[in-house]
Structure 1
Amino acid sequence: MKEIKGSVMINVPAEKVWTVLSESAMYKEWNPFITQWSGELKEGNLLDVTIALPDRPDTKFKSKVMRVESGKEILTKGAIKKGLLTSEHSFLIETIEDSKCVFSQRIKFTGLMTLFVGKTIKAAQVNLNKMNEELKKRCEKK
């Protein structure tokens, strides 16, 4: 198993972060990591996901919504090569004060291919961090 994670303090209420995060049709405008995420954000549904990584072609895959707690959490599970590389991606919004929250992401990678995709996982870490920063900018300027 390999894991990447990152978090950022955002100076707006958690509800505002949730609104921006759940407006996946707008990801193309601001999200450098998850450039497409289509499908209804409902437990059990499949999402069509496209991720962008530095110096690599976009990667497309299906991801199943495992858990949604409106305003707080999203958990998805996807496979790039069925059984060979699986990812579990969590998004968490934690209220610190009325107008401040922490947004966190964690992706756990499992499967045989984790032995061979170290550089790709490091690239994913770079864009996960960029996504967090761009989410912060978008939320704080809106």
Structure 2
Amino acid sequence: MDTTRIEKRVGVNAPSDRIWEILSDLENWHAWNPYETSLTGTLAFGSSISLTEALPGMAERQVQARLGDWQPYSQLVWVEKRGFMFNAIRYYEIEELDRGACIVANGVIFSGLRGELFHDKHRKAIRSAYDDIAEALKRAAEG
């Protein structure tokens, strides 16, 4: 099965608890994330996550996913079945290097038969959006 990863990593001058505070406030993602909005759900293993995804050059779509993993101050991961044998794993990871200095990654892993075709067609738009998301999260955490 083919897999493709798109990821953006950024240094953030804020402690992991500040970054986690922003990520775990699902209902207020619209305040900092212009591409993943109207997020609802609860932080519980296997819980449902719902959001509106509006990436540049792509039609807005409703995402229904399951929380795959979460660890306070460290990671938030949801899994979306996007069709027959095509899945997406969306993630945010926080690595605290020192108090007040973190590396934050946000990305997606596409897997399945259509994953490579989808990625090839939309690579630029997804990469651009994830770059913007990383910078917006950085501004929100450092502000």
**Is TM-score (shorter-chain normalized) higher than 0.5?**
yes
1:86 pairs with 2:87: yes
Residue type of the alignment partner of 1:25: E
Tell me the TM-score normalised to structure 1 length.
0.90
TM-score (norm 2): 0.90
Structure-1 separation of matches of 2:19 and 2:116: 35
Percent of residue pairs bearing the same amino acid type: 22
Match of 2:125 in 1: 123
Amino acid at match of 2:106: Q
Residue in structure 2 matched with residue 109 of structure 1 by the alignment:
110
Quote the residue 2:96 is aligned against: 95
Partner of 1:11: 13
Measured after TM superposition, the shift of residue 111 of structure 1 is 1.9
Which residue number corresponds to residue 61 of structure 1?
A: 63
CA 1:64/1:121 → structure 2, altered by over 3 Å: closer, same or farther?
farther
**Count of equivalent residues:** 140
Which segments of 5 or more consecutive residues in structure 2 lack a partner in the other structure?
none
Q: 1:96 is aligned with what amino acid? A: L
Q: What amino acid is the match of 2:41?
A: G
- Separation (CA, whole Å) in 2 of partners of 1:26 and 1:93: 19
Where structure 1 has 5 or more consecutive residues not aligned to the other structure, the ranges are none
Structure 1 residue identity aligned to 2:54: A
Letter in 2 for 1:99: G
CA contact (8 A) 1:93 1:103 kept: yes
Deviations 1:117-141 (A, max 9, x none): 2222431121111100000011111
